[in-house]
Amino acid sequence: MGKSSKDKRDAYYRLAKEQGWRARSAFKLLQLDEEFNLFEDVTRVVDLCAAPGSWSQVLSRVLIKGEKFGRCAWQDREAKFRQHMLNVVPSDAAPEQEKSIEKDEVPEAQLKPRKDVKIVSIDLQPISPLPGIITLRADITHPATVPLLLKALDPDYDPDTMNQQASQPVDLVISDGAPDVTGLHDLDIYVQSQLLFAALNLALCVLKPGGKFVAKIFRGRNVDLLYAQLKIFFEKVYVAKPRSSRASSVEAFIVCINFQPPEGFKASLEEPLGVGSRLPKMLADQNAVAPITAPVLMQSHETGAWNVTPERTQMVDEHGIEEVEVDDLSTEPHDKDIRWIAPFVACGDLSAFDSDASYKLPDDHVSLDPVQPPTAPPYKRAIELRRANGGAYGKPPSK
């Protein structure tokens, strides 16, 4: 799709370019913050699946530069932009309005930079540098990423002598992880859920008690079991849909507040899904009282469906690879009590742009270039090959 047709369809896409964000996703984080006050008292943050970097830009502007993006500030900016784009500004006021949109600078006196800020951003793709932010190119599902992250958070970290828990923990972990969607819903949901669990694993290694975890989810079947597991670790768990996330998309965000690891809990990558059967056993061993019955969430190797079982049998084969007997998994949960529905919160003011709507563009509308073109898009090689072959239809036959 050409950029001008995207301009027509997507108000947030235009707004992102106008305001200098690398991606329209910035508005999702801003609208989540509007609702949940995510950045309150936060100085140490990990941004997972961060490329091209619009969430990191939000972190940089709020924590390092000290800008405030409360509801009012946001609405004010959006109102200006709406007037601009819909061309409803009275003609004599227009030049001034446009100037203020272009500049969009916050007066120095209103900035409140925070002290000792540490932001680490990770993605498979390279992230173009952002001032004050440590960027890592790594796969969040790979165990080698944990020591990398711990080292970035604490330069004194030594993987030989220290465990996999951050000695200088963080206040907030955010993850906007998404695979390249195939359009096959079940497959996309499955791959996305693997990113979510990898993000949760990392979050459990680095969060401090009281910390927050925010992550993208694709709402699939049995997603409520995931909410129940998160509820073991966090006092409050919400599922939120910002207005800038298209209603037609299965995308939503889990917002987990107040990390409260059960007593004695130590994060470990030995559990591929982070919160497997180890936890209920550990709670039982310690006679600890679990806040809710701890479910064991497992995914069927055959169907990919999430199932729950109160117990599971674990074996370790001669290669040390954990095997799980899945025979006793039913498609229905064994115990209805362990299902827990997270409150659903729609966020972003009702007056905010509707991400599914098209807005009329003024006649003199000029489409802007993206703020940060993709550094290494997966389709780059395909474009190069296509160009080398003379375009979409191949080289014209030589006469």
- For residue 342, state whether it binds ligand SAM (rule: CB under 6 A): no
- For residue 195, state whether it binds ligand SAM (rule: CB under 6 A): yes
Segment interacting with ligand SAM (CB under 6 A) among 18-26, 104-112, 147-155, 384-392: 18-26
- For residue 123, state whether it binds ligand SAM (rule: CB under 6 A): yes
- For residue 55, state whether it binds ligand SAM (rule: CB under 6 A): yes
- Kindly give the interhelix angle for 11-19 and 26-36, rounded to the nearest 10 degrees: 90
Residue 358 burial by Cβ neighbours in a 10 Å radius (0-12, 13-18, 19+) = exposed
Q: Which of 22, 118, 241, 243 binds ligand SAM (CB under 6 A)?
A: 22
Residue 178 burial by Cβ neighbours in a 10 Å radius (0-12, 13-18, 19+) = middle
- For residue 51, state whether it binds ligand SAM (rule: CB under 6 A): yes
Residue 238 CB neighbours (<10 A): 22
Q: How far is the CB of 26 from ligand SAM (least distance, A)?
A: 6
Yes or no: say if 258 and 208 are a contact pair by the CB < 8 Å rule: no
Which residue lies nearer to ligand SAM by CB, 27 or 234? 27
Which residue lies nearer to ligand SAM by CB, 53 or 242? 53
| 188 carries a ligand binding annotation | no
Segment interacting with ligand SAM (CB under 6 A) among 138-146, 206-214, 267-275, 340-348: 138-146
Three-state DSSP state, 255: strand
The DSSP bridge partners found for residue 314 are: 324
User: In the 8-state DSSP scheme, what is residue 63?
Assistant: I
- For residue 178, state whether it binds ligand SAM (rule: CB under 6 A): yes
- For residue 179, state whether it binds ligand SAM (rule: CB under 6 A): yes
Which residue lies nearer to ligand SAM by CB, 146 or 294? 146
DSSP code per residue over 158-186: -TTTS-SS-SS-EEEEEE-------S-HH
- Contact residues for 201 (Cβ-Cβ < 8 A; gap 6+): 146, 267, 269, 271, 273, 274
Yes or no: say if 244 and 355 are a contact pair by the CB < 8 Å rule: yes
What's the token pair of residue 116? 């000792």
- Kindly give the interhelix angle for 145-153 and 185-206, rounded to the nearest 10 degrees: 40
Q: Which of 87, 125, 367, 375 binds ligand SAM (CB under 6 A)?
A: 125
Yes or no: say if 11 and 359 are a contact pair by the CB < 8 Å rule: yes
Q: Which of 10, 11, 17, 25 binds ligand SAM (CB under 6 A)?
A: 25
The DSSP bridge partners found for residue 134 are: 120
- For residue 141, state whether it binds ligand SAM (rule: CB under 6 A): yes
Q: Which of 171, 176, 188, 251 binds ligand SAM (CB under 6 A)?
A: 176
Segment interacting with ligand SAM (CB under 6 A) among 10-18, 20-28, 93-101, 146-154: 20-28
Residue whose pair of structure tokens reads 């479910």 in the numeric block: 295
d(Cα 204, Cα 211) in Å, to the nearest integer?
10
DSSP code per residue over 199-234: HHHHHHHHEEEEEEEEEEEE--TTHHHHHHHHHHHE
Q: How far is the CB of 55 from ligand SAM (least distance, A)?
A: 4
Instruction: Write the interaction track for ligand SAM spanning residues 221-260; mark x where CB under 6 A is met and - where it is not.
Output: ----------------------------------------
d(Cα 54, Cα 69) in Å, to the nearest integer?
14
Q: Which of 31, 54, 244, 245 binds ligand SAM (CB under 6 A)?
A: 54
- For residue 7, state whether it binds ligand SAM (rule: CB under 6 A): no
Q: Which of 50, 203, 297, 371 binds ligand SAM (CB under 6 A)?
A: 50
- For residue 139, state whether it binds ligand SAM (rule: CB under 6 A): yes
Is the omega angle on the peptide bond into residue 95 within 30 degrees of 0, that is, cis? no
Count of positions on this chain that bind ligand SAM (CB under 6 A)? 23
Active-site residue, selected from the candidate residues 17, 28, 212, 216 = 216
Amino acid making up residue 168:
Q
- Is 231 considered catalytic here? no
| 55 carries a ligand binding annotation | yes
Binding site membership for S-adenosyl-L-methionine: which residues? Answer: 53, 55, 123, 139, 176
Residues that bind ligand SAM in the complex, under the rule CB under 6 A: 22-23, 25-26, 49-55, 122-125, 139-141, 176-179, 195
Annotated binding site: 53, 55, 123, 139, 176
Question: Which positions are annotated as active-site residues?
Answer: 216
